Amino acid sequence: MTALNEIERSLALFAQGLSQRVPIFRVDERERAVSTSSLNELFLPAEFDFFTDFESNRNAFRWAVLQQLAFRRYDTLTFAIDEARARFNYLAVRPLPTAHRLPDIELFYQHFPVPGLASYLFFLLEETRVANLITAEFPGALRLRRSYKTYRLASLPLFPADSPFTEFTVLEANLQEPQKMPYRIRELVEPVLATNATVYAAAEATIRCYEAFCAQVPANAAQHMESTLQENVVLPVLQRAARLEDWEQELNDLDAELQAFTFGEAIEATEAEVENSLDGNLRETAVEVQQERDQLQRRIDLERSVLSNYRANRIVDSAHFRYDEWDYLHKTWLKAWCSVYEIRQEHDLQESTTQLVKAIRPFLPQVRKRFEQVKPIGLRRISHSIDGDELDLDAIVEARADLKAKISPTEHVYSRVDRTQRDVSACLLVDLSASTDDPIVQPEPKSLAEDAEDPFDDPYLHGGLDFDPEQRETEAQRKIIDVQKESVLLLAAALEDLGDLYSVYGFSGYGRECVEIHVAKEFNETLNRQTMDAIAAMKPLRSTRMGPAIRHAVYKLGATGSALKVLLVISDGFPQDSDYGPDRGNHEYGIQDTARAIQEAAEKGIQVFCVTVDVSGHDYLRRMCRADQYWVIEDTEELPNALQFAYRQLTI
């Protein structure tokens, strides 16, 4: 048996090389039901055990990947029902189905009395068309196709000899070698076998086969056959994804056009000039574009509502990783148990980077001065050098002694200054769980007397002319996430001066299949406006599945190749998630898995330090790591100092 998780990384590289997209593997029918409908999705079985050897099973996975990529490559998803109705009278004489928002391929199926049979035939024939094109373009894939055919033949449905559906088996068994087909059946599928066949050739062959195989079959028998065959949902799902991508690109174009109206040269004209222009057609055009844009946005929202999945617009272009999880209850590893998605943290216009920078600016000089003690002077005098800025007195004395002894003296009589380099990489892993939305100081409940405000009270009476009545409320509403972001940005500014490699990731998610790593800054990026925007955009999300987040950070740190690798985990509570153990109320499972992840990091030479603002942190942190590997902060405002102190101690 060959499991998908065993070959997932190599298979992902294989798919990415062919499609220039980061693939997202969907491994069972349940995941199709919650599909994001992304063109990056590939539907694969969780395991392949038909063949006795690993290589043959892996080749079956490769062919399945190739085949699905071919649907994109060879224009399957461009199928248009209007074009098909114009080409084929069988469709034109039937009413166009009125179902809302169905993909065109699904509308094609609805033209037939038993749509499930049409779906089966079309998928089979289109699969053959694209397979022929694959092997024509990539002759090496013929070996994969032949191997896969062995599996398909073994899984064909068996019908009694007198069944009206025996032609289905004959058709599928011989499509790869059409010369073995009975002439009557081969004539039906001839359009698909042509070297220049298009997706409409598969539609034509579907109509021919349906009329030949199913037209005279009683309705109840056809419906029974429909329930026997496995429904092929891949093509409608992929076409829906393609449609969404087209609409979103169109939306971006309209946004750019609106921005040109707002900021372009055309708007440099004064308002009076616009009003005096011929019926103000510039303004009318802008209004029309805005209306078109709003209508398209509603259409996209409706399409996404059909998908109704939290991940629909979050992990579409995300790199996907799988990690093991430690089940302490059964003392075993759960292989490839958690799915981790890397999501690029995008700037949120509602979050002010300016405010964040303003908040940390008063502390920057102090932090930089503190880290000057960590930063090496950068200069070390090297003696006995062949060149340099000073003569080396010791080397000159030795050279004179050699001359006296009639020995050829050395030419290395200078000293020079070399700059030393720090070989350090650090990962700042920030907890983005929902609890980080809590205020730093819980407001005390007001008494009835305090709550009753005097409507005639002047708030400026005692506060001066510059008094802001909302200021105190804003200060009271400072949240844990605000302090986390300020602390991370302060430390990032110091590390930028220090020259150390560092990254900033947030982590959250919900369930083992959706652990999210939000990338604000990678190791190879500098602290610029874009990365500061990303840090400012970090916000509270969902749960805290800490084990896989730490394992992913360890993986990323290992790729830097630095001599000293440090992982700083900033959190506000214990590890917890919806399915982090058999009982959500018992946190021991998550604690034990996180402890094992920290242990794995230590075994790989990575120093881990946990900082938490949870005052009860001692209770679980002492079971997750050593006493010198964590710090419990009782006052949240002390977090910046704690991070700086921890980093200095770890890297000096």
Write down the pLDDT at residue 156. 64
User: Sorting pLDDT into bands at 50, 70 and 90, what band is 270?
Assistant: very low
* Distance of alpha carbon 105 from alpha carbon 82, whole angstroms: 11
Closest CA to 428 of 543, 512, 345, 541: 345
| Most confident among 27-36, 245-254, 414-423 (mean pLDDT) | 245-254
Question: Is a pLDDT exceeding 50 seen at residue 220?
Answer: yes
Identity (one letter) of the amino acid at 474?
Answer: T
Please identify which residue in the block is written with the tokens 């949870």.
Answer: 614
Higher pLDDT: 179 or 414? It is 414
Write down the pLDDT at residue 163. 60
Higher pLDDT: 513 or 475? It is 513
Write down the pLDDT at residue 313. 44
At 87 the three-state DSSP class reads: helix
* Distance of alpha carbon 342 from alpha carbon 348, whole angstroms: 18
| Most confident among 34-38, 432-436, 451-455 (mean pLDDT) | 432-436
| Most confident among 186-200, 268-282, 364-378, 450-464 (mean pLDDT) | 186-200
Neighbours of 152 (CB within 10 A): 16
Q: What is the mean pLDDT of residues 451-475?
A: 50
Closest CA to 485 of 375, 345, 601: 345
Instruction: Decide: 517 and 547 in contact? Cβ < 8 Å.
Output: no
Cα 162–chain centre separation: 52
Write down the pLDDT at residue 442. 57
User: Sorting pLDDT into bands at 50, 70 and 90, what band is 251?
Assistant: confident
Which tens digits make up the pLDDT trace of 148-157? 777 776 666 6
Cα 469–chain centre separation: 42
Q: How long, in residues, is the chain?
A: 652
User: Sorting pLDDT into bands at 50, 70 and 90, what band is 556?
Assistant: very high
Question: Is a pLDDT exceeding 80 seen at residue 473?
Answer: no
Write down the pLDDT at residue 314. 47
Question: Is a pLDDT exceeding 80 seen at residue 258?
Answer: no
Q: What is the mean pLDDT of residues 508-529?
A: 88
Higher pLDDT: 246 or 306? It is 246
Write down the pLDDT at residue 221. 59
Identity (one letter) of the amino acid at 59?
Answer: N
Write down the pLDDT at residue 311. 42
Neighbours of 101 (CB within 10 A): 12
At 105 the three-state DSSP class reads: helix
User: Sorting pLDDT into bands at 50, 70 and 90, what band is 253?
Assistant: confident
DSSP class of residue 581 equals: S
* Distance of alpha carbon 189 from alpha carbon 201, whole angstroms: 9
Write down the pLDDT at residue 506. 95
**Above pLDDT 70, what percent of the chain?**
75
Question: Is a pLDDT exceeding 80 seen at residue 481?
Answer: yes
| Most confident among 138-152, 353-367, 552-566 (mean pLDDT) | 552-566
Give 137-153 as a DSSP string: H-GGGHHHHHHHHHHHH
Write down the pLDDT at residue 574. 84
Instruction: Decide: 478 and 468 in contact? Cβ < 8 Å.
Output: no
Write down the pLDDT at residue 263. 47
Q: What is the mean pLDDT of residues 119-124?
A: 86
At 238 the three-state DSSP class reads: helix
Write down the pLDDT at residue 223. 57
Write down the pLDDT at residue 160. 57
Higher pLDDT: 260 or 182? It is 182
Look up the pTM and report it. 0.54
**What is the β-pairing status of strands 319-327 and 332-344?**
antiparallel
Higher pLDDT: 167 or 341? It is 341
Closest CA to 45 of 29, 24, 56, 66: 29
**What is the β-pairing status of strands 515-521 and 501-509?**
antiparallel
Q: What is the mean pLDDT of residues 616-643?
A: 82
| Most confident among 224-233, 285-294, 421-430, 603-612 (mean pLDDT) | 603-612
Write down the pLDDT at residue 181. 78
Which of 381-395, 450-464, 562-576 bottoms out in mean pLDDT, i.e. has the lowest?
450-464
Instruction: Decide: 544 and 577 in contact? Cβ < 8 Å.
Output: yes
Closest CA to 488 of 429, 424, 422, 437: 429
Write down the pLDDT at residue 378. 46
Higher pLDDT: 259 or 239? It is 239
**Above pLDDT 90, what percent of the chain?**
16
Question: Is a pLDDT exceeding 50 seen at residue 642?
Answer: yes
Write down the pLDDT at residue 312. 41
Write down the pLDDT at residue 169. 67
Closest CA to 547 of 324, 363, 265: 324
Q: Residue 529 — φ and ψ, nearest 5°?
A: -60, -40
Write down the pLDDT at residue 445. 54
Q: What is the mean pLDDT of residues 490-495?
A: 88
Write down the pLDDT at residue 306. 53
Q: Is 446 exposed, middle or buried (0-12, 13-18, 19+ CB in 10 A)?
A: exposed
Question: Is a pLDDT exceeding 80 seen at residue 84?
Answer: yes
Q: What is the mean pLDDT of residues 466-483?
A: 63
Question: Is a pLDDT exceeding 80 seen at residue 86?
Answer: yes
* Distance of alpha carbon 262 from alpha carbon 462, whole angstroms: 44
Closest CA to 547 of 331, 265, 327, 249: 327
Write down the pLDDT at residue 550. 96
